[in-house]
Amino acid sequence: MANSPSGDSIVGRITRLLETFDSTRVAQSPSAIARRAGLPISTTHRLVAQLVEEGMLERDGDGDVRIGIRLWELTTRGSHALRLRQIAMPFMEQVQQRVHEHTQLGVLEHDEVLFIERLSAPGSGANITRIAGRLPLHASSSGLVLLAFGDAALQQRMLTAPLAPVSAETITDPAALRRELAAIRTRGYAFAPGYVESVSTGIAVPVADRSGVVAALSVVVPRGAVNEAATVEVLKRAAAGIGESLSRSPFASRSME
C-alpha cells in the first residue's frame, strides 16, 4: 500500500478516518474528521470523496458524512461477531427475562472489551455500555472475566500498563488487580460494584467453546439490589448453553482476535 510522507499507509489513513465516528458523532464535516484523525484536510477530502463514491460513507443534506449502509453490509457479512450474537441471543433473552436488567455480550478486542450485543428492559438502571462500545478490561466485569481467563501475555501487558480509573472504585493497583483476577478464576465470575458507575454493579461469567473462553456474558444491575448467587447461577446456565451451541457450530470455534 502507498504510504504518505508521514509513513501512514492508505489503509491506516482510512482506518483513522473511520475511527472518528462513534455513537455521539454519527455525522461529521470533512474538516472535523481531518482534525480528529490528524490528517491533512486535502487528504481527508480526497478519501471522503472516494469512500462516498464506493458507498462506505454517505453525505447528508448539510454536506456532513456518516457511515454508509454499504460499509455496514460488508462488515456484517460472514462476521464472527454476528454469528456469536445470533447463537447467544436466545440465551441472553432468558437472562434478561429473569434479571430484568441490562444483559450484555462482550469480546476481547485489542486489549479492551468490545460489546457486541446488549438487551435492556424498560426502567433498567444506569449503564454506559453501548453496542460497539468499549471499556477497559480492568474496569468492567466483562473485561475482568476476559482478562482473568486470558493468556499470560495479555495479563502481563495489563498489569504493567497504567490502570486509569473509570470511577472512584475502579481497581488501579496492579497487585490488587492480580488478586482479583485470581479470585475470579477461582469462583468463576466477576463481581464489580461501582467499578464503572457508582450506582451500578456488573456481574460477568466466561463463555467458552472448545477453543477456550471466547466472550463474557454480563448483567448490569442497580447497586445493592441484586441477589448475587441467584444472578450468577442464571448467567452461568446461559453461558453454558451458549458454549455448547458454539461448540456444535462449525463457525465459532475461534476467538475474536
For residue range 28-63, what is the model confidence (pLDDT) as tens digits? 999 999 999 999 999 999 999 999 999 999 999 888
Asked if 14 and 108 sit in the same domain, the reply is no
Asked if 214 and 87 sit in the same domain, the reply is yes
Asked if 90 and 127 sit in the same domain, the reply is yes
The answer to whether 99 and 120 have CB atoms below 8 angstroms apart is no
Asked if 169 and 235 sit in the same domain, the reply is yes
Distance from C-alpha of 95 to C-alpha of 101, rounded to nearest angstrom: 9
Asked if 70 and 86 sit in the same domain, the reply is no
Asked if 164 and 49 sit in the same domain, the reply is no
Q: Is residue 5 part of a domain?
A: no
123 has pLDDT over 90: no
Region 185-211: mean pLDDT is: 95
Asked if 119 and 15 sit in the same domain, the reply is no
Distance from C-alpha of 217 to C-alpha of 21, rounded to nearest angstrom: 26
Q: Which neighbouring-strand residues pair with 205? A: 217
26: domain CATH number is 1.10.10.10
221 has pLDDT over 80: yes
Q: Is residue 136 part of a domain?
A: yes
Output the pLDDT for position 254. Answer: 46
Q: Is residue 257 part of a domain?
A: no
Per-residue pLDDT reduced to its tens digit, 148-190: 999 999 999 999 999 999 999 999 999 999 999 999 999 999 9
Q: How confident is the model at residue 131 (pLDDT cuts 50, 70, 90)?
A: confident
Number of domains present in the structure of the chain:
2
Asked if 70 and 88 sit in the same domain, the reply is no
Asked if 128 and 191 sit in the same domain, the reply is yes
Q: Is residue 18 part of a domain?
A: yes
Locate 80 and state its grid cell: 464472527
Region 200-213: mean pLDDT is: 95
Q: How confident is the model at residue 250 (pLDDT cuts 50, 70, 90)?
A: low
Asked if 37 and 161 sit in the same domain, the reply is no
DSSP secondary structure letter of residue 170: S
Tell which wins on pLDDT, 72 or 3: 72
94: domain CATH number is 3.30.450.40
Locate 19 and state its grid cell: 475511527
Domain region containing 70: 10-75
Asked if 50 and 124 sit in the same domain, the reply is no
Last residue of a domain, one of 48, 75, 102: 75
Asked if 196 and 161 sit in the same domain, the reply is yes
